[in-house]
Structure 1
Amino acid sequence: MNTTEMPSGFSTEYDYDYDTYSPCRMESVKSSSKRFLPVLYSLVILFGLPGNILVLWVLLKYRRLRNMTDICLLNLAISDLIFVLSLPFWAYFTANQWIFGDVLCKVISAFYMLGYYGGILFISLISIDRYFAIVHAVSPFMRRTTLHGLISSIAMWFIALLASLPNLIYTNTYVLEGRTTCHSFTPGGSTTKWEICIILKNNVLGFLIPLVIMLFCYTNIVIILLKNKSSKQRAIKVIFTVVITFLIFWTPHNIVLFLVSLKQLQILTGCDMLIKLTITQQITESITFIHCCLNPIIYAFLGQKFKSDLRRLFHFPWKCGYKARCKDQFTSREFNNSIRTPSSSDNYFSRLM
């Protein structure tokens, strides 16, 4: 059964080792997925939903989407919300069976992949935005306007939608061993080629290309910051946090997907290998889910401007004597920020992060 295009863990009691064409008993995989996957999905929903809603609330209330950075943050939060909102369906499915019908099977599967790819693509776009804002800050041809943000966002959503189309087309409900399931089927009957193409798409579009973009952009940003004597170490620490977090949460899963492709090519064989890969895929894929809970912290809550807006939202002024005085301080800060342009890479990054 193809599990590379939606959350893994929906194995039946038997699968097959295609090298020997012998049935492999998958009870251990099935029991482990029913135990820990619904709990993990529930925790991701618990922490990912309020964090991303809060980002949307602050951006729409105070930022007015006046620049490309705000638009990127908005779309990243929307991507994570789309992803998180698909998880309650998968949590119930993993613990029981699919009861939501054929249409929702296709739609929820497509939403899962749309949020999955959307989040990764907008993380890449944020890296590109910071690269142009800092490395090419003095170039008049590199203005990051609202229009540029809208065009870039539409392009990212279009790519994510194309990547999600197979789920919308080739996913359906089936009854296996008396249990209704929702999973993708193989077009044309070529199981091995189809699954390898899916894995290749996940590895390249969902990991390798974003990683190359992040490494290129943030390496050049760090070089500029190190040349600037007034640059702060905090900005560099934030950059390393972003890159290392991406590597920690996405690298293990993509390595496992590569090993799964070797299993499909019969380079890795045997029922024991199949069971170990399936369980490892469940674990590493679940680790990637946590990233949507951390995105609001890494890309929004660490920002000085965002923290200032967050204090205003909850009427919790820090280091202020009384509300009237704090209101005046916030108004003054808004005015100063509105008339000040990022004259240097350090000024921009310190305000952003």
Structure 2
Amino acid sequence: MDSYWNSTMRRDCEVVKETLQTYYLSVSYSLEFCVGFLGNLVVVLGYMLCLPQWQSFNIYLMNLAVSDLIFLCTLPRLAYLYANDQKESSPYACMVNRYILHMNLYSSILFMVWLSMDRFLLIKHPFRNHYLLRSRTALIVSGLTWLAVNVQVCPLIILMIQDQEYRNWSTCTDFASLKGQVNSLNYSLGLTLTGYVLPLIALCCFSYQIAHLLRVQETVVQQRGRSFKRPLRVVVSVAAMFFCLYTPYHVLRNVTIAYQLSWPRPPLCTSVYTQVLYILSRPLAFLHSVINPVFYFFMGDKFKELLSKNLRKLLRKTEQQKNPSLDLQLKVACSIPNGD
């Protein structure tokens, strides 16, 4: 009787897990792609077409937008896979998609660190006389960032190949479900430390340093530096965003892997409930790519003004093309002399 009850409970737990994967993940990833792709595409095209002069901050922001845009492009395939019970017809496409997703997941927070560093240095060196505020330095830092993230994520390829061999190259699974000879828990913990915890600490440190500089400025000048209050609020909001979105995902991913490797097995349905929470946390973590474009408009150096100005020009030009007689009437009216 107990074995029958246990098997029934386990089956019910698995049904909840499979239902969430099929409906919750597929719908969430589709919505995040539709909303986030448009916002990041506007930023990328706006910088490419509207920005007359590139500074260090613009280079970091452009890399962040490109990273988020590439990240979002992996979500439609994931949505399709979860809607079709993770059945994979192209295992190599699965590995490439998962690799790109995790690479851009961790590059996003790193570029946010460089943006916060740039805001801190700009407040401390308003005339941009620091070498880290040079465009050439920003290009080098950006290149090294992409290299470092690839080094962090490349062991995932070994795990994915071993998992595909274990599953006969027929199923595309997430990070926490990978099976292989490599210790996935140690790798996940290391990636959590280097890819999330340390960058988050750096974000918090820059927030503290910006707040300290503002307090010193207010003490010396005896007035509130309103022009620098916004960078502080934005940097603090960025750190809070990554803490709230990334922390549940990383904690639950590591716990899920630990439960799969632990012996004896955890109590009935405990591991499945953990996996359910892990499933709920994944779209939450990926939400950063949808929210980031909001910060671009608050952090960018006159980006909002440049974009609005060029949009008005484009609308005016389109209106003139639709109604050329209006433009002709205005020219004729301006050429008629006034009769006194």
Name the TM-score, length of structure 1 as normaliser.
0.74
Shift of 1:130: 1.9
Given the superposition, is the C-alpha separation of residues 248 and 267 from structure 1 closer, same or farther in structure 2, using an over 3 Å criterion?
Answer: farther
Measured in 2, the distance between the counterparts of 1:84 and 1:299 equals 17
Partner of 2:137: 148
CA contact (8 A) 1:203 1:257 kept: no
In structure 2, the residue matched to 1:250 is 246
Letter of the 1:34 partner, please give it: T
Question: In 2, distance between residues paired with 1:133 and 1:206?
Answer: 26
Structure-2 change in CA distance of 1:186 and 1:34 (3 Å) = closer
Report the alpha carbon displacement of residue 216 of structure 1 after superposing the two structures with TM. 0.8
Say whether the 8 Å CA contact 1:29–1:275 is kept in structure 2.
yes
- Which digits, 9 at most, give the CA deviation of each residue in 1:126-163, with x for residues without a partner? 12222222235468444411110110001110011112
Consecutive unaligned residues of structure 2, counting only runs of 5 or more, are: 1-8, 218-222, 315-319, 321-340
Hey, what's the Cα distance between the residues in 1 that align with 2:37 and 2:53? 21
What's 1:181 paired with? 171
State the shift of 1:307 in Å. 0.9
**CA distance in 2 between partners of 1:314 and 1:239 (Å):** 28
Matches within 5 A, 1:182-197: 182-183=172-173, 185-187=178-180, 189=181, 194-197=183-186
**Structure 1 stretch 116-125 or stretch 86-95: which is displaced more?**
116-125
The structure carrying a bigger strand percent of its residues is 1
Partners of 2:121 and 2:130 within 8 A in 1: no
> For the residues of structure 1 that align with 2:46 and 2:19, how far apart are their CA atoms?
42
Match status 1:273 vs 2:270: yes
Q: Do residues 239 (structure 1) and 228 (structure 2) align?
A: no
Deviation at 1:281, TM superposition (A): 0.6
* 2:113 counterpart of 1:124: yes
Aligned counterparts of 1:179 and 1:150: Cα–Cα separation in 2: 39
Q: Which runs of 5+ in 1 are unaligned?
A: 1-22, 318-322, 324-353
1:320 aligned partner: none
Alignment partner for residue 45 of structure 2, among 46, 54, 57?
57
Flag the 1:152–1:209 CA change in 2: closer, same or farther, 3 A. Answer: same
CA displacement at 1:103 relative to structure 2: 2.2
Deviation at 1:36, TM superposition (A): 0.8
Alignment of 1:72-91 (within 5 A): 72-91=60-79
> C-alpha separation between the residues in 2 aligned to 1:271 and 1:258?
19
> Match of 1:180, SS?
coil
2:32 corresponds, among 44, 64, 79, to 44
Deviations 1:1-47 (A, max 9, x none): xxxxxxxxxxxxxxxxxxxxxx9542221122111111000111011
Which one-letter code corresponds to 1:269 in the other structure? P
1:69 aligns with 57
Instruction: Tell me how far apart the structure 2 counterparts of residues 303 and 151 of structure 1 sit (CA, whole Å).
Output: 20
Give the letter for the 2:212 counterpart: I
**Does the 8 Å contact 2:64/2:111 carry over to 1?**
yes
Percent of aligned positions with the same letter in both sequences? 24
Q: 2:302 is matched with which residue: 271, 280, 305? A: 305
By how many angstroms is 1:254 displaced?
2.4
Write the distance in 2 (CA, Å) between the matches of 1:72 and 1:304: 12
CA RMSD of aligned residues (A): 2.8
Cα distance, 1:302 vs structure 2: 5.4
Partner of 1:8: none
| DSSP 3-state at the match of 1:182 | coil
For residues 267 and 206 of structure 1, what CA distance do their matches in structure 2 show?
31
Identify if the C-alpha distance between structure 1 residues 254 and 107 changes in structure 2 by more than 3 Å, giving closer, same or farther. closer
More helix by share: 2
Aligned 8 A contact 1:65 1:71 in 2: no
TM-score normalised per structure 2? 0.77
Q: Which moved more, 1:275-284 or 1:135-144?
A: 135-144
Q: Which of 142, 151, 156 is the matching residue for 1:167?
A: 156
Select the structure of larger CA radius of gyration: 2
Distance 1:316 1:236, change over 3 A: farther
Secondary structure at the aligned position of 2:54 is classed as coil
Moved more, 266-275 or 278-287: 266-275
Tell me which residue corresponds to 1:345: none
User: How far off is 1:201 after superposition?
Assistant: 2.6
